[in-house]
Amino acid sequence: SSTEARTFLQYRVDKNTELLGDLVPVGYPVEDTAILLVDDDGREVESGAIGEIVVQSRYLFPGYWRLPELTRERLFPDPAGGAGGMFHTGDLGRLLPDGSYEYHGRKDLQVKIRGFRVQIDEVENTLRAIPQIEQAVVISQQWRKEPRLVAYVVPRANQTMTSSGIRNFLQSRLPDYMIPALILFLESLPLTAGGKVNRAALQPPTDETAGFRSPPAAPPTALERVLVQPWAE
């Protein structure tokens, strides 16, 4: 379903439904609605390929309230001149042989790192699996003409953690190119008026060493307590 396009896919599941993969399909197009999968240039992708889900329907929303630029990015007239329009959802999908669609995340959360396609929410979900982490958001930042991943982490109350500890956890579960280059610790994440994480308000660091600063922790051994005193002074 979609607020902008009302319901445009339905998938009914019961105990007799046979699922052929790890992903549950998101559905079949409803009546009076056409679904297209397009690439970054707006061309339809080949059969079985992943593309952005575009809804062609007479029942689309007229536009985003007081957001004309976003409206122009997402909403287009029917190229054939029909009464309906074309809504670019920003979601990625793939058409299955039985005519249903499989969801593959958000287009704006997919980036290319060192030639590999990375789904940012997959990295975020792995970070949230760390017991000491309350919240985690990952963004892509251009640095020295190359994209890199930057993670913003909110630790749980009274929990101490380090960037190296987080990386060790991620390296046991993700390939190297999906490991964030920088990990920053925050007390809270910025939110939009609707209560969602405001990714645009997360300021990318300009100092390469910023991601290696961890919350302060007392030296755990007697020897470390002796060594740390001169440095503190």
Model confidence pLDDT, tens digit, residues 193-229: 878 899 889 877 765 545 444 445 677 788 988 888 8
Q: Rounded CA gap, 119 and 109, in Å?
A: 6
Contact 9, 30 (CB under 8 A): yes
DSSP 44: B
Structure confidence at residue 14 (pLDDT): 87
Q: Rounded CA gap, 190 and 201, in Å?
A: 6
Q: Give me the residues of the chain with pLDDT under 50, please.
A: 209, 211-215
Q: Residue 112: which H helix or E strand, with range?
A: strand 110-113
Structure confidence at residue 213 (pLDDT): 45
Task: Report the DSSP beta bridge partners of residue 46.
Answer: none
Structure confidence at residue 224 (pLDDT): 86
- For the four alpha carbons of 8, 14, 17 and 21, in that order, the dihedral sign comes to positive
What residue type is assigned to position 195 of the chain?
Answer: G
Structure confidence at residue 216 (pLDDT): 57
How is residue 201 written in tokens?
Answer: 């308000």
Q: Any residues with CB less than 8 A from the CB of 30 and at least 6 apart, and which?
A: 7, 8, 9, 10
Structure confidence at residue 145 (pLDDT): 80
Structure confidence at residue 175 (pLDDT): 95
Structure confidence at residue 207 (pLDDT): 56
Structure confidence at residue 196 (pLDDT): 85
pTM value is 0.66
